[in-house]
Amino acid sequence: MAELTYREAVAHGIAQEMERDDRVVFLGEDVGKAGGVFKATVGLYEKFGSLRVRDTPISEQAILGAAMGAAMTGLRPIAEIMFADFVAVCFDYIANEMSKLRYMSNGQLSCPLVIRTGNGGGVRFGAQHSQSVENWTMMIPGVKVVAPSSPIDVVGLMAAAVRDPDPVIFHEHKALYATKGEVPDGEIVDTLGTAKILRSGSDCTIAALALMAPRALEAADILARDHSINAEVIDVRSLVPLDTKTILGSVAKTGRLFTVEENPRLCGWGAEIASIVADEAFWDLDGPIVRITTPHIPLPAADHLEDLALPSAARIVDKVRRVLNG
């Protein structure tokens, strides 16, 4: 058992898979010699060499095009898109190419690759480098989407993503890179499409992911301590596939659902979950579903404005308390 930071867990997870399988290669901008701009891939170049850990030109299309070709011809590439905002630059590869390959070739071709990307805000990078874009990717039929919130989940879900036979978008959260958590020794392999109940409760369900998961957990502790509200916190972790069973099961127990998402409000993933719960658990609902989101605005770079925009533990506490007691 070792305590790792979230960023160390990224390198640890990639290394675990590269050691296991020679076909796993890793490419991206400054990921090799520099160890990544977020220092999340330090040591991989030294350990696995320049053939398997490759620095690329500054071209997201080149990165994904190369990764897709490698995947189609037998390798298991992990490609880094440095800032999640930049998936817009290479969106054609994601939305039209790799996600449709298996279907359009009638299963003759597949594209087993992982796109890891630094997602989310809270680190003062401004409107073009702070967006939370998991909703951009979850809307595409043909890709899977995960967004871990802890070091152990980073390692386990990375392994699951690399071993999956189809494209998986792996959203790391930039504001979580410095957070720490226990990671057991030995191989860790998690399962895509599974949510985690971080805290058991009976009064309401709070569904969150990535940076919002620890914030929801903190809020739940305050709600229990100061307001006698016992919230169940679910880390959704995987948007595609989505673990509806865990979410619906929790709502059946608590009768109330709050989603906490960093996505801007329109078409955030919480809307999809709210829709599913309204469809399938209507008769379990003891009140309206409440979404707690970033407003539908470009994210400000100024400290206090960015903090105001993203859902905070205090905002979650306030919203849940007012809705449940009001």
Partner 1 sequence: MSATVVMPQLGETVAEGKILTWFKSVGDEIREGENLFEVETDKVTIDVQAVVSGRLSEIRVGAGSVAKVGDVVAVVGSAIADRVAATNMTKLSAEREAFEEVSTPIDKFGPAKGPNGVRVTPLARRLIAQAGLDLNRLAQEARQRGSNRIAKADVRAATRASPSTPAPPQDSQKSGEVIVLNAVRLKTGERLAENWRNIPHVFQAIEVDFTAIDRVRRKYKDAFQQAHGFSLTYLPFIARAACLALEAFPNVNARFDGKALTLSPETHLGIAVDLSHNGLVAPVVRDAGDLALVGLAKAMRRQIEKARAGKLTPDDLAGGTYSISNNGAFGTSFTAPIINAPQVAILSADAIRLKPAVVSTSEGDFLAPRMMGMIGQSFDHRAFDGAYSAAFLSRLKQILEDRDWGDELDG
Helix 212-227, helix 313-325: angle, nearest 10: 50
CB of 102 to partner 1, least distance (A): 12
Residues in a beta bridge with 55:
28
Read off φ and ψ for residue 218, nearest 5 degrees.
-65, -40
Residue from 42, 276, 301, 323 in contact with partner 1 (CB under 8 A) = 276
CB of 280 to partner 1, least distance (A): 6
| CB nearer partner 1, residue 67 or residue 192 | 192
Active site residue 12: no
CB of 36 to partner 1, least distance (A): 31
| CB nearer partner 1, residue 44 or residue 168 | 168
Q: Omega before 288 cis (within 30°)?
A: no
**Identified catalytic residue from 129, 171, 227, 296:** 129
Long-range contacts of 52-56 (CB under 8 A, 24+ apart): 52/18, 52/24, 52/25, 52/26, 53/25, 53/26, 53/27, 54/25, 54/26, 54/27, 55/27, 55/28, 55/29, 55/30, 55/31, 56/27, 56/28, 56/29
x/- letters, 212..251, toward partner 1 (CB under 8 A): ----------------------------xxxxxx--x---
| CB nearer partner 1, residue 27 or residue 229 | 229
Residue from 220, 270, 221 nearest 247 by CA: 270
Residue from 22, 46, 226, 286 in contact with partner 1 (CB under 8 A) = 286
Compute the chain's Rg from CA coordinates. Answer: 19
CB of 117 to partner 1, least distance (A): 21
Q: Name, in order, each residue with C-beta under 8 angstroms of 278's C-beta and a sequence gap of 6 or more.
A: 285, 289
Q: Please give the C-alpha separations between residue 228 and each of 158, 217, 286, 322, in angstroms, as whole numbers.
A: 37, 15, 18, 13
Residue from 192, 207, 223, 313 in contact with partner 1 (CB under 8 A) = 192
Site residues for partner 1, 85-144, by CB under 8 A, read none
Residues 146 and 234: their CA atoms lie apart, in Å, by: 14
Scanning 62-70, 82-90, 170-178, 276-284 for contacts with partner 1 by CB under 8 A, the matching segment is 276-284
CB of 143 to partner 1, least distance (A): 12
- Work out the number of other CB atoms within 10 angstroms of the CB of residue 324: 18
Scanning 112-120, 186-194, 210-218, 228-236 for contacts with partner 1 by CB under 8 A, the matching segment is 186-194
Residues 60 and 67: their CA atoms lie apart, in Å, by: 10
CB of 195 to partner 1, least distance (A): 11
Q: Judged by CB under 8 A, does residue 283 bind partner 1?
A: yes
Q: Judged by CB under 8 A, does residue 193 bind partner 1?
A: yes
Residues with active-site annotation: 129
What is the contact surface with partner 1 in residues (CB under 8 A)?
191-194, 240-245, 248, 255, 276, 278-280, 282-287
